[in-house]
Structure 1
């Protein structure tokens, strides 16, 4: 195949200097189910020795009581953020009870036929804790609990202000030059977001790792998946079923028309969704026969976080703020890249190649032109995503963009080649070769589709005799690596103190309840 010419000079302005990127920060959120020894989802409570899932900053739960979420603080290098994530995993593993292990795949371990056995996450008796559990109950009522057992990795990334100051200085548009730094930074982050959405098929192809699923996950659902072997379903060329029709989907949200063309348009769309009743959710009712609440409200979104998206603009909320209020007041502080499957071959769900690739990709998305994302292009992108999710490794898989239709490999290779100079400049910033190494790994996956994570998962699932066997083998390997991970005495005492403080904070919140939960919910509604 002819190699496309690199146009990377056009991507990297001549004035960009590697020192600009010194203040980049990244953080990782990784989800993982707790699995019993028999392969089924854990029915046990969140281990108390790990502290309170409501108030612990690094170890919490997501949808279900068994779905753990590990959150690093922002770090100034990839090595540091991965090491921090290793520490969290090793701490969590120490306190797992009854021989439980962390399930290593995005798609869940064995679930039984009764959805009610997927226990909702519990956060204690404070109003905020009960509200969080009710939100999860509402998700289950709306979309079913199985969908909420899927795990992912979120990669949070921010660029330092000197990058935005330099970009603004070189703008030719007078209106953009006049913006405050906060507004200009938000403008550029929204451009990054639009381009990331355009390039999500590249992420799914290169780091997608959910081409198959335990048959139990599809109980009671119509599907077009094929049997791979007993108990495992798949599609022959799939990359990331987690990102497709069987993953986080919300037909109500499709009608919202939330765009990332302007901050005000995005926030208005979110607010409208949080305030607009939706007939199918109204029909479910707000309370059950015993007059207990079953969802927060009957709106398109119960709360803003219910809006599923491939990437989110983020700002750290202060006490009492919603995510939207934080964005409105202080602008975009970082982006959350959410289209990333758990890598089952890494004990922490992500490796340095994926991390470095995502950082180069984010810089590429920041520096490229980013026209408004209109409905026609959005529909085309969604078709591209479906193509890559279901058959991205097929020999005739193709992508359509504004310049026409392209074979998947050619389209992917063109973009990776254009990113090379960006990898070089980040290598220079950090005195490393990590970024160019990561792109070379991705090029190998493009050149030889059997090198992709999704192809490896299929091969290893077959070799081990099914999804559960493969996942169990990896879970056992990862458990050994957590046990071998050296934790300093300072780290151990830091996490012990955090666990104790978080339990005290939860207790304080419970004592501070001055409203009944019924009144609290009525006020919110």
Structure 2
């Protein structure tokens, strides 16, 4: 490789003061499958009492009717974000059908042999509702429905404009000093994204919790896994199989050449993918034999959200805007960190230690130099990710770093030392010791591989006799936590009113159809 070692040295500039971080916001999105008492995927509808999955701001569904997604509002502290996520879990638990529970692992609960029993999410009779279901049908046709039952946690994070303003003042390149604050903010967020991509192997090692899968997930697929215990497959030193070739994969997307070097290039690449037919998807056809649509279009991406990336630049869309239009109009407003496994030991899928680590890492990625990222380095990063996914807990795990190959241990230690300085800064901003504590926990995971989440999952899967048994034990523990969580009367009323309002909004959307769905789809196509 001809590029230098990236992220080689790091010192926080003396003029970056903790006060500049006041006003950071974070929001959480957590996915979880509804599971029947027998361990199989729920076949029941999304509970009516929770409101409309189409219009509810906190409680919706992702790919399948049984794959729930919980979304917090942006919060000024980690504690506030986790508290709201606990409230949402408690509300949902109260409304689950008898015997149903939330599956606590990233890799799915029991799936039967028939993929059609993974029911697509339903959003009602409005055009946008039917469009969302058709998009999911297209995903199933293209990649299979099993792949869409994987769960994760998305961590949304923004830094205050005052930080970007001071960073810009200290730039030495005239072209950067002359940018508008909006464009400069986007420039720095893209730097964060490139560095986060470089450091995803570190996230996989520290937070990976999917070293094993239920055998049913791999029905009809070739794989490289070994038996762990009856019904469970694994790799002995794996960390995050969800992030490897058994997880979200799209060969068409690998050919896109979407880069994170510049907002305009990124948007151009995304738009090209949304408008470019892909022969394999063309061969699938747009409609079935009865003339019913089976995918939105035959393009590389049906819609922008089909682009599976491990970190995304985001901007809140206004009415009628696509995600790309929002980014183009107002620049990057926050980043979505998507490379995070569900933590099965947390009733809400993530704990404050993971959150503190991710925010410290994100600040490191933002403040560190971030050279452009091209195909040659991306190949190296992909190699590193594969190594850590499959054998990150091996004593001889290696990382390609520029022109050298180093041990994962040494590479991770170097970055953890630098991230520690960012944790200290965040603690000063927060008036806490949370961020340093998070780095201490990560240090213990690096020093003693048996402390990693993935090692715990393997041990507990063995001790419980398989994935389903382990998942069921954890699910029941989480039920107890939900039932102990006390919602205030105000919060109870808030969620009850939201459920009703969301149902009313869905009815309104269904009454506003002024053309047939066929016409609506033809317009989009």
Match in the other structure for 2:200? 200
Q: Where does 1:7-406 land on structure 2 (aligned, <5 Å)?
A: 10-402=10-402, 404-406=404-406
Q: Where does 1:448-463 land on structure 2 (aligned, <5 Å)?
A: 448-463=448-463
**1:300 match: secondary structure:** coil
Distance in 1 (CA, whole Å) between partners of 2:394 and 2:515 is 58
**1:419 match: secondary structure:** helix
**1:335 match: secondary structure:** strand
Distance in 2 (CA, whole Å) between partners of 1:408 and 1:468 is 32
Q: Following TM superposition, by how much is the alpha carbon of 1:10 offset from its aligned partner in structure 2, in angstroms?
A: 3.6
Distance in 2 (CA, whole Å) between partners of 1:404 and 1:427 is 34
Distance in 2 (CA, whole Å) between partners of 1:299 and 1:422 is 42
Q: Following TM superposition, by how much is the alpha carbon of 1:413 offset from its aligned partner in structure 2, in angstroms?
A: 1.0
**1:23 match: secondary structure:** coil
After superposition, give the CA deviation of every residue in 1:313-368 in whole Å (9 maximum; x if it has no partner): 00000011000000000000000000000000000000001000000000000000
Distance in 2 (CA, whole Å) between partners of 1:523 and 1:281 is 20
After superposition, give the CA deviation of every residue in 1:97-138 in whole Å (9 maximum; x if it has no partner): 121000000000000000000000000000000000000000
After superposition, give the CA deviation of every residue in 1:447-501 in whole Å (9 maximum; x if it has no partner): 0000000000000000000000000000000001000001000000000000000
Per the normalisation by structure 1, the TM-score is 0.98
**1:98 match: secondary structure:** coil
**1:30 match: secondary structure:** strand
**1:27 match: secondary structure:** strand
Tell me if the contact between 1:8 and 1:417 (Cα under 8 Å) persists in the aligned partners: no
**2:309 match: secondary structure:** coil
Tell me which moved more, 405-414 or 231-240: 405-414
Q: Following TM superposition, by how much is the alpha carbon of 1:403 offset from its aligned partner in structure 2, in angstroms?
A: 5.2
Alpha-carbon distance change, 488 to 280 in structure 1, aligned in 2, over 3 angstroms: same
Alpha-carbon distance change, 301 to 9 in structure 1, aligned in 2, over 3 angstroms: closer
Q: Following TM superposition, by how much is the alpha carbon of 1:406 offset from its aligned partner in structure 2, in angstroms?
A: 1.0
After superposition, give the CA deviation of every residue in 1:354-389 in whole Å (9 maximum; x if it has no partner): 000000000000000000001110000000000000
Listed as ranges, the gaps of 5+ residues in structure 2 are 1-6
Q: Following TM superposition, by how much is the alpha carbon of 1:515 offset from its aligned partner in structure 2, in angstroms?
A: 1.0
Tell me if the contact between 1:65 and 1:122 (Cα under 8 Å) persists in the aligned partners: yes
Alpha-carbon distance change, 294 to 91 in structure 1, aligned in 2, over 3 angstroms: same
**1:11 match: secondary structure:** coil
Tell me if the contact between 1:8 and 1:418 (Cα under 8 Å) persists in the aligned partners: no
Distance in 1 (CA, whole Å) between partners of 2:413 and 2:10 is 17
Distance in 1 (CA, whole Å) between partners of 2:8 and 2:19 is 19
Distance in 1 (CA, whole Å) between partners of 2:488 and 2:281 is 50
Q: Following TM superposition, by how much is the alpha carbon of 1:187 offset from its aligned partner in structure 2, in angstroms?
A: 0.2
**2:22 match: secondary structure:** helix
Q: Following TM superposition, by how much is the alpha carbon of 1:402 offset from its aligned partner in structure 2, in angstroms?
A: 1.4
Tell me if the contact between 1:67 and 1:149 (Cα under 8 Å) persists in the aligned partners: yes
Tell me if the contact between 1:243 and 1:389 (Cα under 8 Å) persists in the aligned partners: yes
Distance in 2 (CA, whole Å) between partners of 1:9 and 1:466 is 44
Distance in 1 (CA, whole Å) between partners of 2:329 and 2:96 is 41
Distance in 2 (CA, whole Å) between partners of 1:305 and 1:436 is 35
Distance in 2 (CA, whole Å) between partners of 1:381 and 1:232 is 29
Q: Following TM superposition, by how much is the alpha carbon of 1:433 offset from its aligned partner in structure 2, in angstroms?
A: 0.0
Match in the other structure for 2:413? 413
Distance in 1 (CA, whole Å) between partners of 2:514 and 2:248 is 36
**1:519 match: secondary structure:** helix
Runs of 4+ in 1 over 6 A off after TM superposition: none
Say how many residue pairs are matched: 519
Q: Following TM superposition, by how much is the alpha carbon of 1:8 offset from its aligned partner in structure 2, in angstroms?
A: 11
Per the normalisation by structure 2, the TM-score is 0.98
Q: Following TM superposition, by how much is the alpha carbon of 1:9 offset from its aligned partner in structure 2, in angstroms?
A: 8.8
Tell me which moved more, 12-21 or 400-409: 400-409
Distance in 2 (CA, whole Å) between partners of 1:422 and 1:56 is 36
Q: Following TM superposition, by how much is the alpha carbon of 1:11 offset from its aligned partner in structure 2, in angstroms?
A: 2.7
Distance in 1 (CA, whole Å) between partners of 2:391 and 2:293 is 42
**1:261 match: secondary structure:** coil
Listed as ranges, the gaps of 5+ residues in structure 1 are 1-6
Distance in 1 (CA, whole Å) between partners of 2:509 and 2:221 is 40
Tell me if the contact between 1:8 and 1:419 (Cα under 8 Å) persists in the aligned partners: no
